[in-house]
Amino acid sequence: MVAALLLLAGTSLSNASDGAHWKSADYLVEAFVEIALGSEYEVRRRQVRKWTTPIRHALVHQTGDAALHERLVRTHFEHLATLTGLDILPATSREAANLLVILSSESRLKDDLQRHFGWNSAAQRERFHREAVCLGVLSTSRRSGRITRAVVIIPVDRARARGKLPACVVEELTQVLGLPNDSEKVFPSVFNDRSIDDFLTGLDVLLLKMLYDPRIKPGMDETTVRPLLREISAELVRDGGPERAEAIAATGGLAASSP
């Protein structure tokens, strides 16, 4: 099994561009390669990773406000299921889940990182404390690129203190679907840690649709996937996909219930 680490950082900076740069087919291809195949920790490009089986999720409540957290997670998963066509439902039990969402606290974080991610290194934990608010890990079959399991940990008190609770839910649950990288090269996007976006943007919606287009197979490398991405992105742009994606992002999921 191969694990990919996904962090949500606490920094934010107003986006310098309000233009339509992301609505071009070429930009969509490069953004996909950067987010789906890139890595914050490796120079080499990785393979496409995506779910091919139903997702059954379970919430582990280690703090209060369970009803609020369940609503946030349920609403975003319903939005993701609509965008991707994935079968995403609550598991019948924690043991039956292949995606765990752990609502934790700062005081429990060390134990959670050790138990769920095997982080016994003080340096690993210090990097997380310094750079991130919440995190997720997805596991794949090394050869196939199929995602088989994922765990998301959200230290609720830390996320609330930084005004990032909804952002943590949105980014981490989206990233464990197979868009694991963060990059300042891609904007406007929740995958850009310097962005002010807490909810999916039109660009993020298109990246999800590209990833879960049936022509994109798990395990594809960059050389194989690029021609398909060019074909898919050209179709999206030609058919008004960016404009529809903007409308979906503005009115769907947690964005619809935001004040």
Model confidence over 64-108: pLDDT tens digits?
899 999 999 999 999 999 999 999 999 999 999 999 999 998 878
pLDDT at 142: 75
Residue 182 has pLDDT above 80, yes or no: yes
- What is the 8-class DSSP label of residue 108? G
For residue 47, the tally of other CB atoms under 10 A from its CB is 20
Residue 15 has pLDDT above 70, yes or no: no
How many independent structural domains does the chain possess? 1
Residue 251 has pLDDT above 50, yes or no: yes
Report yes or no: 245 and 203 within 8 Å, Cβ to Cβ: yes
How confident is the model over 3-29, as a mean pLDDT? 64
Cα separations in angstroms, 140 against 209, 210, 227: 20, 19, 24
Residue 158 has pLDDT above 60, yes or no: yes
Cα separations in angstroms, 30 against 21, 113, 126, 155: 12, 33, 32, 32
CA-based end-to-end distance of the chain? 41
Residue 210 has pLDDT above 90, yes or no: yes
Higher pLDDT, 147 or 13: 147
Asked, as a colleague might, if the bond just before 90 is cis with ω within 30 of 0, I would say no
Q: pLDDT digits over 32-53, tens only?
A: 999 999 876 565 678 999 999 9
Closest by CA to 202, choosing from 243, 254, 252, is 243
Burial grade of 152 (CB within 10 A; 0-12, 13-18, 19 or more): buried
- Domain of 63, CATH number, reads 3.40.390.10
Domain interval for residue 223: 2-257
For residue 33, the tally of other CB atoms under 10 A from its CB is 17
pLDDT at 124: 62
Give the integer Cα–Cα distance in Å for 164 and 27.
28
Residue 239 has pLDDT above 60, yes or no: yes
pTM: 0.89
Q: What percent of the chain has pLDDT over 70?
A: 85
